[in-house]
Amino acid sequence: MVAPAKVISKAAPATKEDEYGEFYFRHTILDQLGRYFVILKRMKHGDKEAYDLYSRLGAYILPERSNGFGEYEREVLEPRWLELRPSFGMVLYGSRSQEVKIDKEKKFYVPFAVYFNKYRLARAPTIVQPVNSGDVYRCTVYWDTFHGSRDGGTPTEFALNVSPSGEVHILKVLENKNIKVRAKKGKGRGSTFTVPQRSWGVPSFFEDWAEENGKDVQSFLASIFIQTANAQIAAADSMIKVSAYKGRLAAIFSVNVLRTPYFFKDRDLCVDHKGNKKKIFHIVRTHVRKTGSVVRTHFRGIREFNWEGYKIKITVPGWHHVNTHNLNIGATDEEHIENSKDYIDMAALGKTLKGLEEDSVGGFRR
C-alpha cells in the first residue's frame, strides 16, 4: 500500500468555512489530495472504465462540511444541473474526521467516491427498467479501504431516471439470484441446492444499506444521486478550476478566486527575468488609475507551478478552454453497438476531452 502524501493537520486560525463546492483554506485540500491519489490509482483495478476517464480529467474533491454533507444534502436537483443534465460527474467526499473514524473503527470498506454517467434513452442497458421520457443515469458508489491487501475497491451501481421536470426515480434492474431449495423427495431428501432465478428489483445490497440508515431505498438512493449531482455542478461552475497532477494522474478542485495568493503562497519559487518572484494567478478588479484611465477587470499571474509536490495548473473554464463538465450527450451500452468504429470508450473520451483543454479549445485566451 502506498502511503498518502504529506498532510497538514493544523487548522488555519480563521472563522469562515469552505464554500459550497469551493475550498477556502489550504490545509483542507492538502489533507485530502494524498488519499485521493491512492484511491484513484487503486481504481484501475476496481473500476477500469472510471479510472480511464477520471485519471485524465480528474474528479472533483469536495470540502468537508461542518455538519456532514451539509449544504450538499438537498432534496431536489439544482436548476443549473437540470438545465445541463451532464454526461458524467464524479466527486470524492473527502473528510479528515471520517478518515479518523475509519481508522478508529477499523472499517475495511467505506464509500469514498460517487460518480454517474448518462445513457441515451433508447441505448441504456436492457437489464435496466425502460422509461419513455427524461434521462437514464447509472450511478456508482465506489467503496475502498486503506486497510488490507486487495488491489482495488468495489463499485456498486444503481440506475435512475431524471424526469423532464427534474424528479429522480430509482429504476429496477434485472438481476440473477440463486434461490435455495430443500429437496422433499428421493435420496437427497432434506438436502439443499440452489436454482438460478431472474427478477426485477433494486439490488438487495442497497436495500440493506438504506435500512441501516433508517430510510427507504428509493429516497435514500435518490438523495445520494442528488447531493452528488448538486455538489459536482457547484464545483464545476466555480470561476476557476485547479488541476493537480501526480505523475499521470489528475485531480481537480475549486478555490475562491480571491484566495489564490494565500492558497498557493508556499509554491516553488518562480522568478522573472529581473529575479522578482512571479505573482500567482489572481483577478484584478475594475479600477481607475491616478491618470484617470479605467482598467477593466482581468486576470494576471502565473497559472502553472509546483506546489507541495504536485504540479498545479489554474484555468478559467470558458475563458481558457471549454468546460468539459458541460458535455451533455448520452452514452450507448455495448449491447446496442453494431459497429464499434462509430463509438469511443472511456479512455478515448478522457484523452479527447483532456486534449481540448490543453489545446485551449472553446476558450478566448491561452
Torsion of CA 359, 362, 363, 366, to 10 degrees: 10
Q: Cell numbers 440493506 correspond to what residue?
A: 208
Please identify every stretch of the chain with a pLDDT value under 70, giving residue numbers as ranges: 1-20, 65-74, 94-109, 147-149, 181-190, 193, 271-275, 362-366
Please tell me the distance from the alpha carbon of residue 261 to that of residue 40, in angstroms, as a whole number.
Answer: 28
Q: Return the number of other C-beta atoms located less than 10 Å from residue 169's C-beta.
A: 14
In terms of Cα–Cα distance, which of 310, 223, 253, 261 is closest to 18? 253
Please tell me the distance from the alpha carbon of residue 308 to that of residue 304, in angstroms, as a whole number.
Answer: 13
Which residues, in sequence order, are bridge partners of residue 295?
287
Please tell me the distance from the alpha carbon of residue 31 to that of residue 297, in angstroms, as a whole number.
Answer: 33
Q: What tens digit of pLDDT does each residue of 302-312 get?
A: 889 999 899 99
Q: What is the pTM of this model?
A: 0.83
The pLDDT of residue 186:
66
Cell triple for residue 277?
Answer: 518572484
The pLDDT of residue 14:
36
